[in-house]
Structure 1
Amino acid sequence: MTSTHSARPEVSNKVSSKSLRKLPFRTGTADSALWQGFAGSVMLLLGSFGVGWLASSSVLIRNPLFILARTTPVAVITATVLLCVGAVLMLRAWLRLRQHLAGWDASSRPILIKALILWVAPMMLALPLFSRDSYAYIGQGRLMLEGLNPYTDGISSLNNYYLLGPDTLWTEAPTPYGPLWLWLEQIAVLLPSHSPEIALIPFRLACLAGVILLAIYVPKLAARHGFNPQRALWLVVLNPVVLINFIASVHNDALMLGLVVAGIYYASAKRPVLGILLVTASIAIKPITLIALPFVGLLWAGSQAGWVRKFGLWAATLGISTAIMAFMGAINGLGFGWLAALQTPGTVWIWYAPVGLFSNVVGFVVGFFGSAGPAVTDVIQNMGQIASILLVMALAFLPVKAAAAPFTEKFDAGTPVLEESQRYSQAVLRRMAWAFAAVVLMAPMIQPWYMLWLLAFFAVTGIAEGWQLRTALYLTAFFTMIALTDQLSVFPWIPVVLIRAVAIVVGLAGVLYIMFWDKKTRGLFVPRRGLVRAGEAPQN
């Protein structure tokens, strides 16, 4: 079946009867995956009571049940095990859901939405997990409330700032967030309560709004480019790394990503001004999405545009966005202070970031023979940053040629036919995905949620069955594991090394079991047992 040449082509969701006989998944058992994911989410909720983050000023910290859960070594270990098992269950449920719904017809969507509701609901009630950023948000809101400038003053400028519970990395650092998020932070601390848990509610709701935006616009963008919207919804929005980092960890990247995906959808659908407004709102949350602006300009210009039109619409795109940001800066009195904050040099790196690992290894070797090690590390990291900027510029300025035919998931029923504008949109957004990838891969620090930017942008421009999908699955398993071994709230008299060792052993064992020993899921990771043909699920 082929679609008509419309703005939103009908994506082929049918599988022939011959193919159905080859598909070993059972659509009738999808509920088991739904409830398995729900059980995992509940375990994350329960585990958060023992090792989730509480501010020192929280009233919960004096509750007898929380005292028992957080001060008794056996209870803390139990909470850690619950976290790990819960996350592993969510990962397995996500994989099994794909196997049950591998046909991806229209009936899949209600099941996916039901899964999203069930898996998100318990985590909305959990204490912040694996990150204290949400308490830094409260501190930055207090700075705003007291008339201080969060772009120049750290949270340590506040009296008794340590009672708010922020990570020490934030106590001296200026905020890198835009004016829209600063307003939300200020509103949160204005709520009629002195409880940090009450102040967290607006942040949790904002993150939920971001996930909802992704659930709406990721399928729309995928369908516009000829890809199955249900498959994209599963791959991106129900991804356990998305739900853990955006809902359980309360990262504002959720709202940032939801707004930018909505913006590029409207820009690709020939509503450029609305697209620019939404992308600018995303920048006003976290300015990294400035990267999207030149590609929005390319979408506005169209596939037949010459250089005069391109530069004119690039200027218009930047002008509209800058005017909006200037207006916000005038209202809060902070102007473009976030630009200076973006230039704050990074002081952290992580072993799985290529530039971070390479720069620090070289710096260590040089430092072993002299005193220039730190300088060498800084030079390599600065070179990586410059290289990422040059790559983004090249991806934006080199001519974009729409593919002759769309790259799609192929079922026996055929491939949708797209208009040139849709193929051009796919090519532009693929360039944008690589631009974000360049910035992430060239950074010395790669946080687990950075992977989610790339997952969303690549998914709406095509992730094929086979090695491409397996790469996404491996990354999901890896970053699920990384989340489990990240920050856990443990009192000083309980050995943090012991608790982290428990998390590593239980989490790694669970993830490796799913990848290589579980008869129901290992075929997704091991090529010889994997997807024999595009559109076919692995042997159960």
Structure 2
Amino acid sequence: MAHPEALDGSNAPAHATVIAKAARTAILQGFIGSLLMVVGSVGVGWLASSSALIRTPLFIMARTSPVGVILCTVMLCLGALLLLRSWLRIAQRIGGWNGSAHPVLRRALWMWSVPLMFSLPLFSRDSYAYIGQGRLMEQGVDPYTNGISALSNYFSLGPDKMWTEAPTPYGPLWLWFEQGAVWLSAGVPEFALVPFRLAALAGVLLLAVYVPRLAALHGVNPERALWLGVLNPVLLFNFIASAHNDSLMLGLVVAGLYFASVKRPVLGIVLITASIAIKPITLIALPFAGLLWAGARAGWGRRMICWTATLALSMGLLAATGMVNGLGFGWLGALQTPGAVWIWYAPVGLLAHTAGFVVGLFDGPGVPVTDVIQTIGTAVSALAIVWLAVRTPGRGIAMRAPTDGESEFNKTVLRRMAWAFAAVVVLAPVIQPWYMVWLLVFFTVTGIADGPQLRTVFYLTAFFTLIALTDQLSVFPWIPLAVVRGVAIAIAVLFIAYLVFYDKKTHVLFRPRRGILKFKPKP
């Protein structure tokens, strides 16, 4: 899966110099794109309703007039799409995937990420829900049974109305972090955002360290994995620009899986448990961590012991945190919170709500039909997790048999885990863009081949970039949202069509040919 050397016979230092020069334009283009996104966020990024920034001349000019909002929307879209093109081009400019590419990719990660740390929250206002949940914790209100609407003047934070009545779906470690962020900021929303951005950056840094290491354990090129799984613009948009806690959740679980793979299971399980204590979806990783602990030659007896020990250690740590904060395992009851909505491109959500709508047209039980279909999807995903965890590794989805070596066994286990997460995502009624990032990282560390698999990543990256740019834009009620969204859709669709069909450099990547190998930098 690794690409051959771009320069035959060149030594490492010369190659490092050549690829650094070759990638310079792509890195700079992405840096400019990130800066444009920061400027655009002034007009359409999310602000707390009570923010003092809205009363400053710059924000008044950018947010209160149609011209200012549309101009900021144009800059945001062009910036994000430039970053998408830069990500595609940097792989072409590097040419060969060897150790000399690592510092170039690391430089690109810093130059693309650091500007986004200074933007207003983009594409999501979950960070304001985090602040509200932190205030609930400060006031001693159980966030597992109360939404942030229990706060006085909660609307001044500007959270998504969809979640104001819903209990928090996050674990106890994240609740403590939210409480600490609110305490440190003295209740000022702009200051409270800083810890969340730092947590998101920490998650990306963990991924930058452990995705290449975990990939290398499985014979997958680590530099290519770093580019494909960590520098992906959808990851940067949703983890850095949006400040989602999924960043730290994913970074911790990947680090935990790495240590479990190198036979440090206790440390690995502790890290995975920390990930669960941020967002409990990573409970899915526990049975697969138990398999890594058991090893390639383990029989059913040893597997059962390792599964039991993994569960006992993880649940023991979670029980201890529940005792300390007095909330116990309250997060279990809130696990269904994200499933309370649906989205049109989620197959199960679309099927369930279309069927319910049709049945309702004929005076039938439309809502129960919708609920039954969504429940079936959840049940099938749960069965898929069990099947993938207990079936003998080495026989099944996309993996060769047998798995005699420890490395191949570990690769098989993690590939099955990736499919388990995929089952949960695909069979859910809602698929958020950052769910794609989970799957991208899990599949990357076990290998995404050139050809159809890599092109699928390119198309999904383009699609979820389009979704991000056209979904959640913060626009005042007197600004015509349809016009602003229409501008965003037009720019995004035209730019992506250009990349796919007309751009002489990038269109080859979306066709059935190995476009990345076509460019060879010259010394």
RMSD: 2.1
Aligned position for 2:14: none
Aligned position for 1:537: 518
Aligned position for 2:508: 523
Which moves more between the two structures, 472-481 or 341-350? 341-350
1:255 aligns with 2:248: yes
Q: Which amino acid aligns with 1:29?
A: A
Deviations 1:395-432, CA, capped at 9 Å, x for gaps:
001111289x999xxxxxxxxxx981111000000000
Aligned position for 1:390: 383
Aligned position for 2:476: 491
Aligned position for 1:294: 287
Deviation at 1:99, TM superposition (A): 0.2
Distance in 2 (alpha carbons) for counterparts of 1:522 and 1:356: 32
Deviation at 1:17, TM superposition (A): 2.9
Distance in 2 (alpha carbons) for counterparts of 1:406 and 1:436: 17
Aligned position for 1:95: 88
Distance in 1 (alpha carbons) for counterparts of 2:335 and 2:219: 37
Aligned position for 1:76: 69
1:144-183 map, 5 Å: 144-183=137-176
Deviations 1:170-203, CA, capped at 9 Å, x for gaps:
2100000001100010001102544211001110
- Count matched residues: 510
Aligned position for 1:226: 219
**Does the CA contact (< 8 Å) of 1:402 and 1:424 recur in 2?**
no
Q: Which amino acid aligns with 2:488?
A: A
Summarize the Cα distance change of 1:304–1:43 in structure 2 as closer, same or farther, 3 Å threshold.
same
**Does the CA contact (< 8 Å) of 2:168 and 2:337 recur in 1?**
no
Aligned position for 2:15: none
Aligned position for 2:492: 507
SS of the equivalent of 1:313 reads helix
TM, length-normalised to structure 1: 0.91
Distance in 2 (alpha carbons) for counterparts of 1:285 and 1:163: 25
Distance in 2 (alpha carbons) for counterparts of 1:170 and 1:84: 27
Distance in 1 (alpha carbons) for counterparts of 2:518 and 2:231: 18
Of 453, 467, 481 in structure 1, the residue corresponding to residue 452 of structure 2 is 467
Aligned position for 2:442: 457
Of 116, 132, 138 in structure 1, the residue corresponding to residue 131 of structure 2 is 138
Distance in 2 (alpha carbons) for counterparts of 1:12 and 1:63: 51
**Does the CA contact (< 8 Å) of 1:123 and 1:247 recur in 2?**
yes
**Does the CA contact (< 8 Å) of 1:141 and 1:188 recur in 2?**
yes
Deviation at 1:59, TM superposition (A): 1.0
Distance in 2 (alpha carbons) for counterparts of 1:465 and 1:234: 14
Aligned position for 1:336: 329
Deviations 1:229-252, CA, capped at 9 Å, x for gaps:
000000011100000000001110
Q: Which amino acid aligns with 1:145?
A: E
Of 372, 382, 398 in structure 1, the residue corresponding to residue 365 of structure 2 is 372
Q: Any stretches of 5+ residues in structure 2 without a counterpart?
A: 12-17
Aligned position for 1:310: 303
Aligned position for 1:51: 44
Summarize the Cα distance change of 1:19–1:348 in structure 2 as closer, same or farther, 3 Å threshold.
farther
**Does the CA contact (< 8 Å) of 1:406 and 1:423 recur in 2?**
no
**Does the CA contact (< 8 Å) of 1:520 and 1:539 recur in 2?**
no
Of 105, 108, 131 in structure 1, the residue corresponding to residue 101 of structure 2 is 108
Distance in 2 (alpha carbons) for counterparts of 1:140 and 1:104: 44
**Does the CA contact (< 8 Å) of 2:196 and 2:245 recur in 1?**
yes
Q: Which amino acid aligns with 2:8?
A: S
Q: Which amino acid aligns with 1:290?
A: L
Aligned position for 2:348: 355
Of 450, 461, 471 in structure 2, the residue corresponding to residue 476 of structure 1 is 461
Deviation at 1:161, TM superposition (A): 0.5
Bigger proportion of residues as helix: 2
Q: Which amino acid aligns with 2:514?
A: L
Distance in 2 (alpha carbons) for counterparts of 1:490 and 1:518: 32
Q: Any stretches of 5+ residues in structure 1 without a counterpart?
A: 1-10, 21-25, 408-417
**Does the CA contact (< 8 Å) of 1:303 and 1:401 recur in 2?**
no
Deviations 1:199-239, CA, capped at 9 Å, x for gaps:
01110000000000000000001111001100000001110
**Does the CA contact (< 8 Å) of 2:30 and 2:87 recur in 1?**
yes
SS of the equivalent of 1:163 reads helix
Q: Percent identity, please.
A: 62
Of 221, 233, 239 in structure 2, the residue corresponding to residue 240 of structure 1 is 233
Summarize the Cα distance change of 1:12–1:56 in structure 2 as closer, same or farther, 3 Å threshold.
closer
Aligned position for 2:27: 34
Aligned position for 1:277: 270
Summarize the Cα distance change of 1:539–1:361 in structure 2 as closer, same or farther, 3 Å threshold.
farther
**Does the CA contact (< 8 Å) of 2:6 and 2:520 recur in 1?**
no
**Does the CA contact (< 8 Å) of 1:293 and 1:317 recur in 2?**
yes
SS of the equivalent of 2:471 reads coil
